[in-house]
Amino acid sequence: MSSFFYCFGQGIKNIRRNRLFSIASIATMTVCIFLFGIMYFVLINVQYNLLQLETGVGATVFFREGISDQELLDLRDKIKEVDGVKRIEYVSAEKAWEKFKADHFDNSDSEMLKSFGDDNPLQYSSSFEIYFTSVEKQLTAVEEIRGMEADGVRYVNNAEDLVKTLTSLNRGLSVGAIVLIILLLAIALFLISTTVSIGISVRAREIQIQSLIGATDLFIRGPFLVEGVLIGLLGAAIPLSVLYAMYYKLVQLVSTKLNILGTINFVDVNEVFAVLAPLSACIGVGIGFFGSYFTLNRELRKFRKL
């Protein structure tokens, strides 16, 4: 236990001695984790919205006026055969009108509702709501269904632009995130390695004395490993605090003020950070530990040859 506290105390001293490089290492790690968090926000929300599109109604098929019941059954069977179609639900004009009233009218609009009387303004709005197995198959399936005009299809409504945008964004961000994170992690590893190397050179005489009196490798390495881990933890804790506040405020702003984005859903902040926080901490600690470990191996080998 005394050795542990000694290593911990020396690790903190090492950070103080090499303030400039320690601050640079923490700052680089902070930027790295911060950008990683931004990328994670975007990726998880894009994937979440893609999943919503997969599990929600992908397209609505409206029929031509006067279509018979038998033609509807034949059309449903033909649509079922399209690759990518998972499920079809029939929505009558009456059901469509009831849903429209529930979504767009309240008690204050009772007089307006009375003006319709028994008429159904959506009498030609019976439709098939189509669910797809995946977003990737949705676009091609919709095009095939649109070609069924001779079978009674009048119009197909789907979020085509949103599907294309989210799919392209998901692919592009995945590649961009990997490249950017690798670059930043390499810079962070370099700075932590430099910080540890300077710490070893500053404590060269002390390390030599410890070796001569029989100190173990773990005892000598301990303070530098603690230094790397602490730098990694600080580099992860700072951006996580900022990211939490930023994401929480962003979701509140979009949900309450920017109604134009009502079609976009956000993953709950606690659900996001249940994964992001431990993942970022592991990245920070991992870079700090392994950056210190491999630098120690290299520098101590040089030191022992002297």
User: Within 13 A of 54's CA, how many CA atoms are on the CB side?
Assistant: 14
Give 133-189 pLDDT, tens digit per residue. 776 677 788 888 888 888 888 888 776 666 666 667 667 777 877 787 788 777 777
Name the residue among 136, 84, 276, 299 with its Cα closest to residue 208: 299
Name the residue among 94, 36, 10 with its Cα closest to residue 236: 36
The answer on 193 and 47 residing in a single domain is yes
Any idea what the CATH number is for the domain that residue 154 is in? 3.30.70.3040
The answer on 286 and 260 residing in a single domain is yes
The answer on 291 and 178 residing in a single domain is yes
Confidence of residue 238 (pLDDT cuts 50, 70, 90): very high
CA–CA gap between residue 265 and residue 34 (Å, rounded): 22
The answer on 288 and 151 residing in a single domain is no
Q: State yes or no: pLDDT of 269 exceeds 80.
A: yes
pLDDT of residue 239: 92
CA–CA gap between residue 74 and residue 52 (Å, rounded): 29
pLDDT of residue 261: 46
pLDDT of residue 127: 79
Phi, psi (rounded to 5 degrees) for 143: -60, -40
- Average pLDDT of 264-293? 85
The answer on 218 and 76 residing in a single domain is no
Domain end (from 139, 158, 177): 158
The answer on 259 and 301 residing in a single domain is yes
For 27, counting Cβ atoms within 10 Å of its Cβ (0-12 exposed, 13-18 middle, 19+ buried), the class is middle
The answer on 75 and 49 residing in a single domain is no
pLDDT of residue 48: 80
Q: Which residues of 262-280 are buried (b: 16+ CB within 10 A; e: fewer)?
A: eebebbebeebbeebbebb
CA–CA gap between residue 63 and residue 127 (Å, rounded): 6
Q: Which helix (H) or strand (E) holds 89?
A: strand 85-91
- For the chain, what is the mean pLDDT? 75
The answer on 65 and 41 residing in a single domain is no
Domain end (from 107, 127, 158): 158
The answer on 74 and 17 residing in a single domain is no
Give 188-204 pLDDT, tens digit per residue. 777 777 776 776 776 66
pTM as predicted: 0.59
Domain limits at 93? Answer: 59-158
Confidence of residue 27 (pLDDT cuts 50, 70, 90): confident
The answer on 98 and 150 residing in a single domain is yes
Q: State yes or no: pLDDT of 262 exceeds 60.
A: no
The answer on 265 and 188 residing in a single domain is yes
Overall number of domains in the chain: 2
The answer on 267 and 185 residing in a single domain is yes
Give 66-109 pLDDT, tens digit per residue. 777 788 888 888 988 888 888 888 877 666 556 655 555 555 45
Domain end (from 113, 131, 158): 158
